[in-house]
A = this chain, B = another copy of it.
Amino acid sequence: MKSHESGDANYPVSELNQVRRRHDRGFYDHATIHALLDAAMLCHVSYVIDGQPFCTPTFFWREGGRLYWHGSSASRMLRNLAHGEPACLTVTHLDALVLARSGYNHSADYRSVMAFGKARLIEDPQEKARALVMMVDRLFPQRTAGLRPATTQEIKATAVIAMDIERASAKIRARGVVDEDEDYALPIYAERIPVSAVLGQPEPCPRTLEGLERPATLAGYAAGRSLEEALSEAYAGPRSGATTPLASR
Q: A-side interface residues toward B, CB under 8 Å?
A: 16, 20-21, 41-42, 44-48, 51-57, 59, 71-72, 74-76, 86-90, 92, 94, 96-97, 99, 101-104, 106, 108, 110, 112, 114, 116, 132-133, 135-136, 139-140, 143-144, 146-151, 154, 157-158, 176-177, 179, 183-205, 207-209, 212-215, 218, 221, 227
Closest residue of chain B to A110, judged by CB?
A: B57
The 3 A-B pairs at the shortest CB distance, nearest first, are namely: A194-B200, A46-B55, A46-B46
Can you name 18 A-B residue pairings with CB atoms under 8 Å? Answer: A44-B92, A46-B55, A48-B51, A48-B53, A51-B86, A52-B86, A53-B86, A55-B90, A56-B90, A59-B108, A97-B139, A97-B221, A102-B148, A104-B158, A176-B205, A185-B209, A194-B201, A196-B197
Contact B146 A188 (CB under 8 A): yes
Chain B residues contacting A16 (CB-CB under 8 Å) are 52
Nearest CB of B to A240, in Å: 11
Q: Is the interface of A mostly helix, strand, loop or mixed?
A: mixed
B147 pairs with A188, CB closer than 8 A: yes
Tell whether, in the assembled complex, residue A213 and residue B189 are in contact, meaning their CB atoms are under 8 Å apart.
yes
Residues of chain B with a CB closer than 8 A to A46's CB: 44, 46-47, 53-55, 88
> Which of B75, B177, B227 is close to A21, meaning CB atoms less than 8 Å apart?
B75
The complex is assembled from copies of this chain, and their number is 2
Q: Please, which residue of chain B has its CB at the minimum distance from the CB of A91?
A: B57
Of A48, A87, A148, most buried by chain B (CB within 10 Å of CB) is: A148
A103 and chain B: residue at smallest CB distance: B136
Say whether, besides A55-B88, A88-B55, A112-B57, A147 and B103 are in contact (CB < 8 Å). Answer: yes
Asked whether, in the complex, the Cβ of B47 is within 8 Å of the Cβ of A197, the reply is no
- What's the nearest-Cβ distance from chain B to residue A35, in Å? 17
Contact assessment for A148 and B57 in the assembled complex, using a CB-CB cutoff below 8 Å: no
Q: Name the B residues within 8 Å of A56 (CB-CB).
A: 90, 114
Shortest Cβ distance from residue A41 to the other chain B in the assembled complex, whole angstroms: 8
Q: Which of B87, B135, B147, B212 contacts A53 (CB 8 A)?
A: B87
Q: How far does the alpha carbon of A224 sit from the alpha carbon of B200 in the complex, in Å? A: 12
Inter-subunit contact A205/B190 (CB<8 Å): yes
> Which of chain B's residues has its CB closest to A86's CB?
B52
